[in-house]
Amino acid sequence: MSDTFTKVISTVPESTLLWEKRDEISEVLDGKLDVEFELDEGIIFVDCGGNLKEIICPDCGEMIDFDWWGQAMDGYFENDCKNPNFEVPCCGDIVSINDLIYNMPCGFARTAMLVENGGIDSETLSKLETLIGEELRVIKGRY
């Protein structure tokens, strides 16, 4: 049996607000969700494991080659995550690797909220977005 999980991250990779506001978040959730907060020293790639089927260019809609993407990822982390912007091979536009369309979603973050018992509904998510003041992304992973 494969292991599945749901994580909520900010779309702002360097943000630590999910961590800093964890008490307020717990109040909003009011015991309805069982969550755990994670904080990393640096930005990490929060991936969805086996759920990642394709990566698509947000500008032209073409599929991004996984080998190219792997190299862009290496470059991003080797440069201490300072520059997420790369010239994509499909249309030559400069695109942030955080803005590529990951199917299913993945993202870059320092903090994550792990939802222990299943998913999070859109109403709860938008409440948290209002509280944090940042757009959030739900990552559904499978290993």
Q: Is the dihedral of CA 140, 114, 127, 20 positive or negative?
A: negative
73 binds Zn ion (CB under 5 A): no
Which residues fall within 8 angstroms of residue 24, CB to CB, at 6 or more apart? 131
Give min distance, CB of 97 to Zn ion, in A.
13
For the chain, the farthest-separated pair of C-alpha atoms sits apart, in whole angstroms, at 47
72 binds Zn ion (CB under 5 A): no
Q: Site size for Zn ion, by CB under 5 A?
A: 7
91 binds Zn ion (CB under 5 A): yes
Closest CB to Zn ion belongs to which residue?
57
Phi, psi angle pair for 41, to nearest 5°: -65, -35
59 binds Zn ion (CB under 5 A): yes
Kindly list the residues in this chain that would bind Zn ion in the complex (CB under 5 A).
57, 59-60, 62, 88, 90-91
